[in-house]
Amino acid sequence: NTETVSDFVREKVAEDCRTGKFDGRVVTRFPPEPNGYLHIGHAKSICLNFGIAQEFPGGVCHLRLDDTDPEKESVEFVEAIKSDVRWLGFDWGEHEYYASNYFEQLYEFAVKLIKADKAYVCDLSADQMREYRGTLTEPGKPSPGRSRSVEENLDLFERMRAGEFPDGAYVLRAKIDLASPNMNLRDPTIYRIRHVNHYRAGDKWCVYPLYDFTHGQSDSIERITHSICTLEFEDHRPLYNWFLDALEIYHPEQTEFARLNLTYTVMSKRRLLELVEGGFVNGWDDPRMPTVVGLRRRGYTPAALRAFCKKIGVTKFDGTTDFALLEHCLRDDLNKTSQRVMAVLDPLKVVITNYPEGQIEEMDAVNNPEDESAGSRKVPFSRELYIERDDFMEDPPKKFFRLAPGREVRMRYAYYITCEEVIKDKATGEIVELRCTYDPETRGGSSPDGRKVKATLHWVSAEKGVPAEVRLYDHLFSVPDPSDVEEGVDYKTNLNPNSLEVVSDAIVEPSVATLEPGTRVQFERLGYFCIDAKDSKPDALVINRTVTLRDAWAK
Ligand code: ATP
Ligand code: MG
Ligand code: MG
C-alpha cells in the first residue's frame, strides 16, 4: 500500500514547493538525542520526516544526533538509534550529522550575539534565576550581569570556555525580553559550564550549548527546509526564530505536530529509563516495552509500525491512541506474512488406541492460507499426541463443540478421532490422558460417508514434538492512562503485575525448532508468536507471544 494520505504538514511542504519558498528544496531531519532507545513515538516522527523526504522530488532526510548534553549520551545509544531507524525501513544515506560537530560554530554564534550586545554572562544561581524570572503576571527583574559591557562579557565567556570557573559559576544568557508573556523569551540560558567528558568531543569542551541554542542553528547549518517537531515546542518557536534572525543566518521553518501517546503504556525516555534501571522490565528490549527494540523482539514488523503511523495520521491535536489500533495493524500484516504452525500451550495427552505403535505419518499442512506461494510442510502424526487441555470437557455445556466423551472431532490436517475413555490421576482426580480411536478413512480431514464433525483441533505429536518455553505478554500497565495518578502517587503503582506469564511446558511441532531466531509464526488458533531473538537456543526454544488472534479494535 503505497498510497499517501496527506496531512497539514505535507500540505505545507507541497505549498512551499509550489511557491518556490526554499527554491523547491525539501530537507527534513530526525533529531534524536542519544540518551536512550527510540520508542514508537519516535517511529511516528521518523515516518513523517523520512516519509516526506521520500514523497517529494529530491527530498532528503537527515539523521541528526542531537548530542550536546554530555551527561547522559553514549555511543551505545547512537548505535541503537541507527539500527532502529534502519530496521524501520529508512535510509539517511550520507546524511548523518552530529550536533556536537557544531560546537565550535555554536560557540562562534554565541560570540557573535555577545558582540551585538544580545547575550551576556550571568552570575545568578539557579535559584536566584528562577526568582528573577518573574511570573506570568509579573515581569522579570534584570540580572546584574545584564548591564555588563560587551568587552567584559567576551572576556568572561572566553574564560568560561578556558575552564577557569567551576560548574554553575556562570551561564551565558540571550538578552531578549524580561517582560515577555512567553517565559522562554525572558533571557533564556544558552550556555552552561559542565566539566564533563563528552562521548565524542572528549574533554575539549567545558561549556555546552542548551537545546534551544543548538537546535535551530543545527537546522540552519544543515540547510533544513522544514523543521518538524512535537507540539511542546510551539512555545519555543519564537526563540527558534529569534536566534536565527539575531544571527542573520539561513532560516528554516519550524512546524509542530501532536506527539503520539498510547494507552496502557508510557512514552517518555525518562520513564522508560526508570523502568529499565529499576528492574521493572528486563532491559530496553523487554518485549513489553514500547521501544522499537522491545516491539521488534516481541515480533512486531516494520511494515506494521509504518502502517500504524500512516493510519493515525498527523494532526495538531494531542490525544491518546488506543493500543488496540496498533495491534490491529500488526495482525493485518502478520496474517498476510506469517507461516502457520501447530503448538500446544497447555498439553493434555491423547492416546489413539487403534493407531499402530511406533508408526509416524507425515501429514501435509498448508503454510499460509493467505499466501499460496508459502507452500506446505509435513507434520508428523503419531499414536500419542498432545491437544490443548481446554479443548476437552468431560461434562460439556450445550455450546461446547470440541472434544468430550463419546464425541468425534477433526485433528487438523489428519484424522477424525473419538474420545472413548478419560484417565484420571487417582489421588488428585486431574485428567491426565484421553484414550481415543481414529477412523483411518478420514485421512486429510473428511470422511467418505460425508459425516460432519463440529470442531477441528490443533495438536502436536508427543513423540516428535519439541518442548518450548512460551512467554505470554499483556499490557505493561493495567490501566489505559498510567500517568493519571493522584498527587503523590507514583505512576509505577499502575504496572500490571501479570504482564508476563511464562509457560514452561509448551510443545511445538518439530518444524519450529528449525526456524531462525526472530522468525514470526502463527500458532493455529492461539495467536502470533516469534522465536525470541535473544534467549532462544536450538535445544531450548523460547517463544514470545506477539499478539492474540482476537482483534479488539472497534472500527
Ligand atoms: P521523550 O520526550 O520521549 O523523552 P524526546 O522528545 O526527548 O523524547 P528526542 O530524542 O529529543 O526525544 O526526540 C527526537 C524526535 O522525536 C523529536 O523531534 C521529537 O519531537 C520526536 N518525538 C519524541 N517523542 C515523540 C512522540 N511521542 N510522538 C511523536 N514524536 C516524538
Ligand atoms: Mg529530547
Ligand atoms: Mg521530550
Per-position pLDDT tens, the chain of length 555: 455 679 999 999 999 999 999 999 999 999 999 999 999 999 999 999 999 999 999 999 999 999 999 999 999 999 999 999 999 999 999 999 999 999 999 999 999 999 999 999 999 999 999 999 999 999 999 999 999 999 999 999 999 999 999 999 999 999 999 999 999 999 999 999 999 999 999 999 999 999 999 999 999 999 999 999 999 999 999 999 999 999 999 999 999 999 999 999 999 999 999 999 999 999 999 999 999 999 999 999 999 999 999 999 999 999 999 999 999 999 999 999 999 999 999 999 999 999 999 999 999 999 999 999 999 999 999 999 999 999 999 999 999 999 999 999 999 999 999 999 999 999 999 999 999 999 999 999 899 999 999 999 999 999 999 999 999 999 999 999 999 999 999 999 999 999 999 999 999 999 999 999 999 999 999 999 999 999 999 999 999 999 999 877 776
For residues 331 and 353, state if they share a domain. Answer: no
Q: What are phi and psi of 146, to 5 degrees?
A: -60, -25
Residue 426 annotated as binding site: no
Question: Which residue owns the Cα nearest ligand 1 atom 16?
Answer: 42
Q: Is the Cβ atom of 269 under 6 angstroms away from ligand 1?
A: yes
Residue 3 in any domain: the answer is no
Strands of the sheet with 119-122, listed across from one edge: 119-122, 171-174, 189-193, 207-209
Taking a C-beta distance cutoff of 8 angstroms, is the pair 330, 304 a contact? yes
Residue 389 annotated as binding site: no
Residues pairing with 523 in the sheet: 341, 527
pTM value?
0.95
CATH number at residue 247: 3.40.50.620
Residue 276: domain span: 258-339+467-555
Q: Is the Cβ atom of 290 under 6 angstroms away from ligand 1?
A: no
Q: Is the Cβ atom of 456 under 6 angstroms away from ligand 1?
A: no
Q: Is the Cβ atom of 506 under 6 angstroms away from ligand 1?
A: no
Q: Considering only CA atoms, which of 503, 494, 440 is closest in space to residue 472?
A: 503
User: For residue 41, which ligand has an atom nearest its CA?
Assistant: 1
Q: Is the Cβ atom of 436 under 6 angstroms away from ligand 1?
A: no
The two beta strands, 376-382 and 527-531, are unpaired
For residues 91 and 220, state if they share a domain. Answer: yes
For residues 398 and 482, state if they share a domain. Answer: no
For residues 245 and 329, state if they share a domain. Answer: no
Distance, CA of 535 to CA of 357 (rounded, Å): 36
Residue 415 annotated as binding site: no
By annotation, the residues acting in catalysis are 33, 259, 269
Residue 110 in any domain: the answer is yes
For residues 246 and 114, state if they share a domain. Answer: yes
Q: Give the total number of structural domains in the chain.
A: 3
User: For residue 32, which ligand has an atom nearest its CA?
Assistant: 1
Q: Is the Cβ atom of 32 under 6 angstroms away from ligand 1?
A: yes
For residues 274 and 242, state if they share a domain. Answer: no
Q: Tell which atom from ligand 1 comes closest to the C-alpha of 259.
A: 28
Q: What are phi and psi of 310, to 5 degrees?
A: -65, -40
Residue 124 in any domain: the answer is yes
How far, in Å, is the centroid of ligand 3 from the Cα of 268?
7
Residue 303 in any domain: the answer is yes
Residue 198 annotated as binding site: no
pLDDT score of 5: 75
Residue 66 annotated as binding site: yes
Residue 35 in any domain: the answer is yes
With a cut of 0.90, is the ipTM above it? yes
Residue from 212, 230, 231, 312 to probe ligand 1 pocket by mutation (most atoms less than 8 Å from CB): 230
Distance, CA of 178 to CA of 142 (rounded, Å): 7
CATH number at residue 520: 2.40.240.10
For residues 330 and 352, state if they share a domain. Answer: no
Residue 446 in any domain: the answer is yes
For residues 553 and 444, state if they share a domain. Answer: no
CA-to-CA dists, residue 31 to 41, 92, 419, 446, 459, angstroms: 13, 12, 63, 59, 50
| End-of-domain residue from the set 226, 257, 288 | 257
How far, in Å, is the centroid of ligand 2 from the Cα of 34?
9
How far, in Å, is the centroid of ligand 1 from the Cα of 189?
22
Residue 439 annotated as binding site: no
Q: Is the Cβ atom of 33 under 6 angstroms away from ligand 1?
A: yes
Q: Tell which atom from ligand 1 comes closest to the C-alpha of 46.
A: 16
How far, in Å, is the centroid of ligand 3 from the Cα of 487?
22
For residues 286 and 300, state if they share a domain. Answer: yes
User: For residue 270, which ligand has an atom nearest its CA?
Assistant: 1
For residues 103 and 158, state if they share a domain. Answer: yes
pLDDT score of 551: 79
For residues 171 and 132, state if they share a domain. Answer: yes
Question: Which residue owns the Cα nearest ligand 1 atom 13?
Answer: 32
How far, in Å, is the centroid of ligand 3 from the Cα of 7?
23
User: For residue 34, which ligand has an atom nearest its CA?
Assistant: 1
321 Cβ partners below 8 Å, 6+ apart?
A: 260, 261, 262, 263, 312
pLDDT score of 550: 87
| End-of-domain residue from the set 402, 431, 457 | 457
Q: Is the Cβ atom of 31 under 6 angstroms away from ligand 1?
A: yes
The two beta strands, 339-341 and 520-523, are parallel
How far, in Å, is the centroid of ligand 1 from the Cα of 416?
56
Q: Considering only CA atoms, which of 252, 204, 206 is closest in space to residue 226?
A: 252
Residue from 7, 45, 63, 255 to probe ligand 1 pocket by mutation (most atoms less than 8 Å from CB): 45
For residues 353 and 416, state if they share a domain. Answer: yes
pLDDT score of 555: 61
Taking a C-beta distance cutoff of 8 angstroms, is the pair 473, 498 a contact? no
Residue 220 in any domain: the answer is yes
Q: Is the Cβ atom of 72 under 6 angstroms away from ligand 1?
A: no
| End-of-domain residue from the set 193, 224, 257 | 257
pLDDT score of 1: 45
Residue 1 in any domain: the answer is no
Question: Which residue owns the Cα nearest ligand 1 atom 15?
Answer: 32
How far, in Å, is the centroid of ligand 2 from the Cα of 502?
35
